Structure formats: structure tokens, C-alpha cells
Amino acid sequence: MTVHIGAKPGQIAPTVLMPGDPYRARWAAETFLDNPVLVNEVRGMLGFTGTWRGNPVTIHGSGMGMPSMSIYANELISEYGAKTLIRIGSAGAMQESIKLRDVVLAQTATSLSTPSRGFFREINFAPCADFGLLAAAHKAAADKGVTTHVGNIYSSDVFYDDRKDLNKIMTDHGVLCVEMEAAELYNLCARHGVRGLAVLTISDHLITQEALPSADRERSFGDMVEIALGAAFP
């Protein structure tokens, strides 16, 4: 048990999927895991452990933003022994070639700042995904026939961003999409020597201003969860 996670020893699996929304964690656990058990509800951040094809899996919310992700990822790794952490979440497309419902696999994550900035000090560390997970996720997506993009993403500190010039710079440099957690997850996975990946569903588009209707999100997010599970257990 930690300050933010009330699970008992042994209740967190070595493989953890991390959606931002705790209620999405509940939906994913009840939809994809066998015999999911609620193992955490401290501060309303839900975590469930069950099995997928006989493999133990925990699905635990991370909250919004890199500071919140840092809290939960740190505790899952340091106190519960998590070895594989996969963020599953939504993102906004920054390239015209990317469409709603497409899946982005974050090979690297650009950011203005992360909670690890004080740790790195003058170093501009380049956080990246675990290649084994990345390759397995790409194959899992191909097997499902899901349109997938692999490359650099942008992890933003803010949701309501007035820096239109910054968005253009990201787009001009081939950044695929924007979200709010992956860069710090990758930092922590590198620091602790564990595997990390972000699998992202495009729910809206910064260029076309399209957005995925709420009724369609659950079906599209289901592909993302299955790809993440397929990456963890190829």
C-alpha cells in the first residue's frame, strides 16, 4: 500500500495498462479481462487486476497530465514491481495524413517540460518507447487491420493551449499527435529499467477540427486496448 495506491502486495500485475480516465480503466477491465478485481480506489483512481488469455494484467488509471502520471507510474514500479507499463489514451492528430480512429504508436515523445526536468537539469533527454513493445504493437495492429502510425508525438503540459505557433512547429517537424502523459512515462521507464509504450487513439484533429463522436469512442478505444494487450503478450 502506498500514499496513492491501496492495493495489497501481490495485487498489481507485472504488466499494467494505464488509461488517463479511471472510468475507462473500469470499462477496459470489465470488457477485456477475465475475473477483474478492483484493487485500488484511493482518491477515485480506479485500478483492476484480472487475466487476459491467462496472463495477469492490471489496468490502472493515471489521471490527466504528466505530474499525475509520474505519481502512479513511480509507485507502480518502485512499490509494486511493475515491469511493463503501457499508456492507452486519446490524442489529437497533428498531420493531415492521420485520420480519426487511427492508432498512433509513440516511438519518441517531445515535450516543453516534464516532472523529470529537474532531474535531468541541463540534459535534453530524448524519451523513447521500448522497441520490443513497439514492434509487437505494430504487428498486433496490422493483424487487426487497424491503420497505424509510428513516430514522434508531443506530450503537452496544458490542455487549453494558445500557442498556435508551437503547434505549427510540431506539425512542420512531423510530430504525429499531441497528448499529455507519454513523455514522463518514458522517462520513468528508462530510469527504472522497465518497458514502456504509449498506444494512442486519434479522437480529434487539430488541423481539420474534426472530433470523434462520444458514441463511437468506445468501439475505437477497444482496438487500442487489444493492441496494447497484444504488444505485452505477443
Q: Which pTM value belongs to this model?
A: 0.96
Map out the domains of the chain as residue ranges.
Answer: 15-232
pLDDT digits (tens, 9 = 90+) for 170-192: 999 999 999 999 999 999 999 99
Bridge-based pairing of strands 84-93 and 103-111 is unpaired
Confidence of residue 142 (pLDDT cuts 50, 70, 90): very high
Asked whether residue 138 is marked as a ligand-binding residue, the answer is no
Instruction: Quote the CA–CA distance of 19 and 16 in Å, as a whole number.
Output: 10
pLDDT digits (tens, 9 = 90+) for 67-99: 999 999 999 999 999 999 999 999 999 999 999
CATH code 3.40.50.1580 for 15-232: yes
Q: Out of 34, 143, 204, 216, which one is annotated catalytic?
A: 204
The grid coordinates of residue 161 equal 493551449
Asked whether residue 180 is marked as a ligand-binding residue, the answer is yes
Residue 204 falls in the annotated catalytic set: yes
